[in-house]
Amino acid sequence: MRVMERTFREQLFFLVLCLSVLKGDTRYIENNEISKDELFSFFNSELKRETPEEFLYRRPLRCLDMVAVEGQFTFNAERPQLSCAAFFMAEPNEVISVDYDNVDIDCRAGDFITVFDGWVMKGEKFPSSQDHPLPLYERYVDYCDSGSMRKSVRSSQNVAMVFFRIHNAGSSFTLTVRKHINPFPCNVISQSPEGSYTMVIPQQHRNCSFSIIYPVAIDVSEFSLGHYNNFPKRAMPGCAESGDFVQLLGGSGIDTSKLLPITDLCISFTGPTHMKIGCDNTVVRMVSSGKYISRVSFSYRVLDSQELQTLKLNNVEDFCFNN
């Protein structure tokens, strides 16, 4: 009798449990209206932060333009425009995506819209071919070649640009520019003539550069090569034999492989190394073998006209006047 009662009780409990589940009286997960994302969206490493359509910044795109904001930029050809280009720029820790929208051009007539992964000026490219993961021809993405297949292009660093040519008045296109976080920036062009930056290469066999398109006074405050277990590195006899070092480069172009070396740093140190470099482009370039966690910290400010004049007077060589 007792066994029968226990069995009946268990069956009754089970029945009540099933009814509760089916009726939905058990605890449920409340969907917070504030969060419109799905429950497990936080597992997605790409944070969704697209600006709603009504808040998207919009303005016309000019034949020569520089864009440092997210938004939609529309080019309407009032007359044939055969030589146009727009530079895109983001913060050092961001990359840029460019989406083609509402493209109305005549590819067969010779129109083109070509996005380049980097900047090209006077036949020189940034990043250089040595420092960029893609071969040169893959860095150009032509709408007329890839149009419907590839409506979005993402840069590998904080700069990109677009070249376009329109033969017919009335043709138009829109580019939507967005920025995305780059957790490990490698090649950077500085937006401003002054600031500070720390470049880190986390045990990767690659070369990274930070380009400042102004004549600057630069202070390198720290250069370290950390082992994975954070033991200090022994000083190497010379930079040429070291696979890990920092170069200061200068010149009048944007291709870092064509700039002239000003000095090399290959021994870990803490303490300011101060230099004034009168070049149009000053670059801090870090070469990493991948054995260490390489890090260099520096600050910079633009040289005023007096300092530039002093540099010119004090230097015999005609190479960018550095002290």
**Where on the chain is the footprint of other proteins (CB under 8 A)?**
55, 57-60, 63-69, 71, 82-85, 87, 89, 110, 112, 114, 116, 120-125, 129, 135-137, 140, 161, 163, 165, 167, 191-192, 213-214, 252, 280-281
Is the omega angle on the peptide bond into residue 261 within 30 degrees of 0, that is, cis? no
Dihedral, CA of residue 183, residue 187, residue 191 and residue 194, to nearest 10: 100
Q: Which two tokens stand for residue 112?
A: 């083109």
CB of 60 to other proteins, least distance (A): 7
Q: Which two tokens stand for residue 241?
A: 């034999």
Nearer to other proteins, 239 or 279 (CB): 279
Nearer to other proteins, 7 or 102 (CB): 102
CB of 38 to other proteins, least distance (A): 26
Nearer to other proteins, 171 or 288 (CB): 171
Nearer to other proteins, 6 or 58 (CB): 58
CB of 185 to other proteins, least distance (A): 18
Nearer to other proteins, 65 or 222 (CB): 65
Instruction: Confirm if 162 and 88 have CB atoms less than 8 A apart.
Output: yes
In the chain, the N- to C-terminal Cα span, in Å, equals 102
Q: Which two tokens stand for residue 280?
A: 């149009």
Q: Within 13 A of 301's CA, how many CA atoms are on the CB side?
A: 4
CB of 287 to other proteins, least distance (A): 20
CB of 274 to other proteins, least distance (A): 24
Instruction: Confirm if 214 and 307 have CB atoms less than 8 A apart.
Output: no
Q: DSSP character for 133? A: S
